[in-house]
Structure 1
């Protein structure tokens, strides 16, 4: 199979039939063999019934229905697990991504040899205050922190070589940072393509301003995990040993000064009345706790088992 199109969605019943017709027309006109995987992320409208109807009429349409709303990252994770195409295309279900871009994205993966091609919505039709400006700040911070030079990390329209999506773990709300996850996994041939962005035709956006707050927090998380996620002892252990040594040296100096004054008959207060003695003890205790945190982190990494992060309520028969 040449192409898998993975589409996460939430309450998009009005756009699904039009989106399917558009995608199918583009793929058939280019003689692609394909599958279209819709992941219903806990919709409360008739999105699932629409997906079932499309699947009955076209066996290339497959559907996954979550038990409740788990988020876009979990939806993509489920779609990636089941995708069989050599090239995997992701796009949003709101008709703001243009399926006409798919053939060129496919060629950039298969002919130009890229591992991942990310869409760049250079001209946007979103609200300037609530989406465009925060998005520019967010993307600038992501470029600086990750070293991946993309203009638009959060564009839903992306193309992947199959091996990429099978070897990265999209969890939490990390769908924004799939290019960073791919880079951390060793897939360095990452580029972007300017794509056409369209105004939303039906309904309202499912994302508010809080997604950028979450985005920046996730950016810090992925930076930390990329640096120390596989070696927590390198951070916590080193910090713990350093603090313990500082506290131990300080306590030793206080004890030495006490003995020196006693030996020379110099009046001196009790060690127990010296606040610096307690500060040094506290630093040693905190250092020990940091070291133990790093040690426990190493044990957890060695003993953890993979576990599904969502419940699938139903799938179409052909998946």
Structure 2
């Protein structure tokens, strides 16, 4: 999927259908000139329903459909016949989608399962026909209820990528390169910061035809939790990942400090993120000789409070060990 086709945030206006009006009808037949009331009820207005679709990866289909309206209910008729219910509208979204009320920013629900359906705007109830209102003192009521109006609201739909492993790191740490080497994904790769502006997903092929999904999250910068840069857009995608793989380049000034800054950004955005399993990958290690690597290892053993591994995507070093470690952690 190209970067331009990955849409993870849309605002749309939804309107459910109005209920049909009840019928005011008096029964008339040959030889029955003054039958009683027999007006039927109006049909329910159509709902607007959000539905989880596991075959979707993006909100692109909604990008150009900003107004969605369900059908109105049909009016009641004679012989106590009810009007037809309005046709419901289904909005298919990928799994991992959060739906919010645009005005209050309140989270209405989350779609996490295939086929999950949630009503975002209820159709109006149909009006009752005049036969409901007959009584001993009013045997021929000549009124019925109108249908109830449908709901109208603005909603915000956000996608939080669902993946087994999320790649976390500063811009230009080598996340896209790693994804391109161990999966069939083809993310944009260049030697400048913020090359990746949208998450990229790839399927990692493991032993015995087993697979797991890895997501390349756009680079985090210090202050992202406060919304600096595109912090909130990037950080929300990490919430859905089972395991976090922190990527820190071997030529970083201070590997432990970089890791702690990344960890602190996650903590400030959502403390629950720290409950996820974590692994640190020291990337670009083909630049290190054995002596320098041993020296760095001694420092990391002492100061880095997380399991770590040395890798090089370009030189294909440590990638088998990385996949083995990730698989064990995912299936622990």
Question: What is the TM-score with the length of structure 1 in the denominator?
Answer: 0.23
Structure whose alpha-carbon radius of gyration is higher = 2
Q: Which has the higher contact order (CA 8 A, sep 6+)?
A: 1
More helix by share: 1
Question: What is the TM-score with the length of structure 2 in the denominator?
Answer: 0.22
